[in-house]
Amino acid sequence: MSKELTKRADDYSQWYNELVVKSQLADHSAVRGCMVIKPYGYALWENMRDQLDKMFKDTGHVNAYFPLFVPKSLFEAEETNAEGFAKECAVVTHYRLKADPNNKGKLIVDPEAKLEEELVVRPTSEAIIWNTYKGWIQSYRDLPLLINQWANVVRWEMRTRLFLRTAEFLWQEGHTAHATKEEAIEETTKMLDVYAEFVEEYMAVPVIKGVKTASERFAGAEDTYCIEALMQDGKALQAGTSHFLGQNFAKAFDVKFSDKNNKLDYVWATSWGVSTRLIGALIMAHSDDQGLIMPPKIAPLQVVIIPIYKGEEGKALIDAKSAEIIRDLKALGIRVKYDDNDNARPGWKFAEYELKGVPVRIAMGMRDMENNVAEVARRDTKEKSGVSLDGLADYLKNLLDEIQQNIYNRALAFRNENLRTADTWDEFVKLQEETGGFVSAHWDGTPETEEKIKELTKATIRCISINNKQEEGKCILTGSPSKERVLFAKAY
RNA sequence: CGGGAUGUAGCGUAGCCCGGUUAUCGCGCCUGGUUUGGGACCAGGAGGUCGCAAGUUCGAAUCUUGCCAUCCCGACCA
């Protein structure tokens, strides 16, 4: 990994600190690692959310909402899931405070108000949802049940990192129930495809679809499918997961249905989720030294118009012309802002919108008005050109598409350059140390070897690609026979 | 929870080793003016529990002890 890239990665955190979140509330250690999403960042999340939501609905899903609190007895019902999350659960034990008799103006937890049963703040909602599904499913006619929830969850991680691992985060979690194993597996891969399509087409981040190894699997799942993206510093990021849960949760929560032959069986389940971590992926995949780069399709602002003028007369002319342009852009569904704030000078605004990653900036001054042009600057390449005001809106619509494609192509080229193969241990170690990125290599299939490789190089198996090519080979560490390559990388 | 570093105005910092006027500088903020095609300039101004507590001392941002917090590295993880 080059030093330049490492430095750049450090800069990202500064930018998202500045632009989008704070990681803590001052002087409140107990909420360290939570995030405050500022309006600009939230607008980005809303765009991502709306698009995903549309895609979920297009694939037959509906939204619902389930409680934040999970009674401990429910939470522990699916043993593997419960154990997997036990170490990072926030737990509610009391329901009341009272005035501190020894300290005026202060409050203490009322010892009289201890809950009979502790409530777990959901780290994920399988338990409470499956407990609910039990009452909703009796017959094959109730299936499939295809529900998604937009919610916040809490995972009390020992160490947090902005966007990538905050204590509380926003996400969506889909939870589906099916009559057959095949149908559930189909749902699992279908939703993985939805995620891949969203991340690639809207976020312009190329991903690799794959299956996790047993040790990286979601607690309680039979199989975990994932999309893995590569960040500019050579580290991999798990951008979304889709789990085939088998009948584990149905058995734990006793969710049975009668099939057409009146035979009772447990339902087959899936769950799938993406989170505000995607914002982190976006930042780390595209940003450069001038700041963020937003893919037009989900950018909170797609075009910003900055008037350049001296005195009120010139400004009136520019105002009028800009209003026309804005009207045309809005008619094409383009998100545009006219920044005539007189408190900031043009140069300051240029830098500011570059930092925020607005895809296209238009500067309009008297000089341009006279020539019937506008100065159009694109964020991705930083190119500037004079463009005729006639047909400007259509030009910009095309330009936004081109920028979207260019950002994706650039990220794809980077990913492909950083997807290498290693056939020997020395090669493997050298790649991990020097270049980072994905390394495709043979592995003997045992968790012990996987663990050993992680210990020695910090690289983990990100996934086994879907439709992976089968080929004879030898494990890079142990030399044992292997029938396919798996993808290794250092990961966030 | 282990290892390392740090804590001075909204942000970034100097001063600390070697204790001594009114705690330094930049950005930002406020007022007035001139400006406005790549983060403007001039003048004036406001803003401080030096992380908290105790100790040493005539005197502590500076030395000692304890505590708290933050960041980085591990373990854990979407």
Angle, alpha carbons A431-A436-A439 (nearest 5°): 60
Q: What is the pLDDT of residue A275?
A: 93
A213 touches strand B (CB under 7 A): no
A167 touches strand B (CB under 7 A): yes
Predicted confidence band at A22 (pLDDT cuts at 50, 70, 90)?
Answer: very low
**Nearest one of A437, A468, A370, A359 to A405, comparing CA atoms:** A359
pLDDT at residue A35 is higher than 90: no
pLDDT at residue A412 is higher than 50: yes
ipTM of the complex: 0.82
Q: Note if the bond before A295 is cis, omega within 30 degrees.
A: no
Q: Please, what's the b/e burial string for A135-157 (b: 16 or more CB within 10 A of its CB; e: otherwise)?
A: eebeebeebbbbbbbebebbbbe
**Residue that wins the pLDDT comparison between A398 and A291:** A398
Q: Distance between CA A326 and CA A22 in Å, rounded?
A: 33
SS3 A136: helix
User: Among all strands, which nt has the closest C1' to A451 (CA)?
Assistant: B75
User: Among all strands, which nt has the closest C1' to A160 (CA)?
Assistant: B77
Query: Distance from residue A479 (CA) to nucleotide B37 (C1'), in Å?
Result: 65
Q: Please, what's the b/e burial string for A25-51 (b: 16 or more CB within 10 A of its CB; e: otherwise)?
A: eeeeeeeebbbebeeebbbbbebbbeb
**What average pLDDT score do residues A435-448 get?**
92
Q: What is the pLDDT of residue A12?
A: 53
A182-201 pLDDT per residue, tens? 999 999 999 999 999 999 99
Predicted confidence band at A15 (pLDDT cuts at 50, 70, 90)?
Answer: low
Q: Say if pTM beats, i.e. exceeds, 0.80.
A: yes
Chain A residues 402 to 441 whose Cβ lies within 7 Å of strand B are none
pLDDT at residue A297 is higher than 70: yes
**What average pLDDT score do residues A486-490 get?**
93
A213-224 pLDDT per residue, tens? 998 999 999 999
Which positions of strand B lie within 7 Å of protein CB atoms? 1, 35-40, 68-78
Q: Distance between CA A438 and CA A283 in Å, rounded?
A: 19
**Nearest one of A5, A7, A107, A122 to A66, comparing CA atoms:** A122
Q: What is the pLDDT of residue A32?
A: 62
Q: Distance between CA A181 and CA A187 in Å, rounded?
A: 10
Q: What is the pLDDT of residue A243?
A: 96
Predicted confidence band at A166 (pLDDT cuts at 50, 70, 90)?
Answer: confident
pLDDT at residue A27 is higher than 60: no
Predicted confidence band at A31 (pLDDT cuts at 50, 70, 90)?
Answer: low
A175 touches strand B (CB under 7 A): no
Query: Distance from residue A361 (CA) to nucleotide B15 (C1'), in Å?
Result: 45
A201 touches strand B (CB under 7 A): no
pLDDT at residue A88 is higher than 90: no
Q: Are β-strands A256-258 and A264-266 bridged in parallel, bridged antiparallel, or unpaired?
A: antiparallel
pLDDT at residue A179 is higher than 60: yes
Q: Distance between CA A186 and CA A270 in Å, rounded?
A: 10
Q: Distance between CA A387 and CA A365 in Å, rounded?
A: 13
pLDDT at residue A21 is higher than 70: no
A222-279 pLDDT per residue, tens? 999 999 999 888 889 999 999 999 999 999 999 999 999 999 999 999 999 999 889 8
**What average pLDDT score do residues A481-491 get?**
93
